[in-house]
Structure 1
Amino acid sequence: MSDARSTNYAPTLALTALTPIVWGSTYAITTEFLPPDRPLFTALMRALPAGLLLLALTRTLPHGQWVGRAAVLGVLNIGAFFPLLFLAAYRLPGGVAGVLGAVTPMFALGFAAVLLAETPTRRKILAGAIGVLGVSLVVLKGNAELDFVGVAAGFAGAASMGAGTVLTKKWGSPQGVGPLAIAGWQLTAGGLFIAPLALIIEGAPPVLDVDAIGGYLYLGIIGTAVAYWLWFRGISRVPATSVAFLGLLSPVSAAVIGWLALNQALTLLQVLGLVIALAGTVLGQLPPKPQPKLTDRQLVAA
């Protein structure tokens, strides 16, 4: 990594970290303000308006091979991820739904090994294991009822997001196209993927009250348009697996919000789990140890 990139590494990570912190509020917003049992409609309202807004701002459309790439990334990062995310949010307590996303770094490590030929370092694997341990401790909540469908949706969403994050890094972006446009492409593609599913499965849109409108505006503008711009900006500047480890901040944020705003109890074991999850986040950001340079004599011997 060059000196210039090293100088910008920490600020880029700090700014990108705002995204999963904001995403942690999704679960509270969903359960407290949005229409019940409408995960597909909620996913649609979060994705498509935000994508169209970004397209209008950037006035840039994909062309050539990027039409297909935008569609694939849009399905992985948005079209599949959002419905799974909201299905988990509707069927599980906020903290539990949020922490399932913490397994995303483990999926990202596996996908990066296959798609980017990045051999997982011992430190990354350890960080992933620490994150999973933290997740497990937070899930062990005395009064939480774990629904199988909700848990399965949470894990499937983590896998989809992990694959999408790594592919976003692998494919990069066309010359002269920034992360704002990339976010617009993916959100629009994902929203168009969700739209017919929402209509067929859930029927006509529900009547929205003031709370629901406010919730959708927050999710669409802050939790999606702004958040995904920061997320894809981070992916373009630092390793994809490092960005994926920032996702551990989402369940931490969800659990803290659930405790502060929704009166969801946190046991000492869960607090320990949150601390461990934060430790996994930090460990996942540390650069690999530099390899010692071989001397001329060692090179000759080799």
Structure 2
Amino acid sequence: MALELHRSDWRVLLASRMECEFFLVRYVPDTVKNEFVNIGVLLREAGRAESTRVRFTRDWSRVRCLDPDADTAMLEAMETEIAERLKLGEHDFKPVLQVMEDTLSNSLQLTEPRGCLAENLSAEMEQLMRMYVETVRERVIRPRTGRAAIAATMREEFERANVWDLMRKRISASQYTRVGDPLKIDCGYRPNGIIRMFQAISLEGDLEAAKVLAFSSSGLREGVQRLEGASLELTAIVEPLREMEDETAAVERYRFGVETMERESIRVLTVSDLERVAQTARRELNL
């Protein structure tokens, strides 16, 4: 009798779950060697293409181990590109695959679909990410430093405020300045008659990024006004000035970077201001 109840409970449990299918997104830097790292998951309810969700990893250490020169910013932008195409109704994966191939020269690949049973898509996505993408063994976590740490914190705060998906990412300066300008601004949004753009800058590292942003700012403002009919508020997000004993030169470099950008009317904030910045974005985007 106990066995029958057990079987009955099992059938009820299965009946309560939805049939889904998922695809793993793999990063393959060298298609000849065919070495790869799973970096994301595409998940959807079976027979409902419009339910498709995408998630990429937030920890790129395994990718960098395989390919030290990997453009992780481009990979993050690809996640956004795929999500936006899915929102626009492109539920056929062929156009999505074409974007991957054109942008990253076949470095991103999708596996064949696999079936699964899920209580709900959100919980299943978390489970699949843990199983196939994130590292499950204990390992030494290397703290992110420099610009990468600032950019990651900026993204996390905007995601926490639920505005990241509404923002433009990797904004090409060349559309506002001139063809060939390689500068890309991390993210931005337009709440009304003003466009706000944000760039992660590490003043403890190379000050060239601060000088480049300062040099480009006037051209960016003129281009935004000309093409968008809006004013530009450009914000640099930097690390806080740490207590530095006997490091006068480092402090002077930090202050030089701040003053260089502020002279060009670039607003300079630290990562500790990001929660407030993200909440402002949330209000301005009417969330």
TM-score of the two chains, using structure 1 as the length reference: 0.29
Q: Which has the higher contact order (CA 8 A, sep 6+)?
A: 1
- Is the helix fraction higher in 1 or 2? 1
- Is the strand fraction higher in 1 or 2? 2
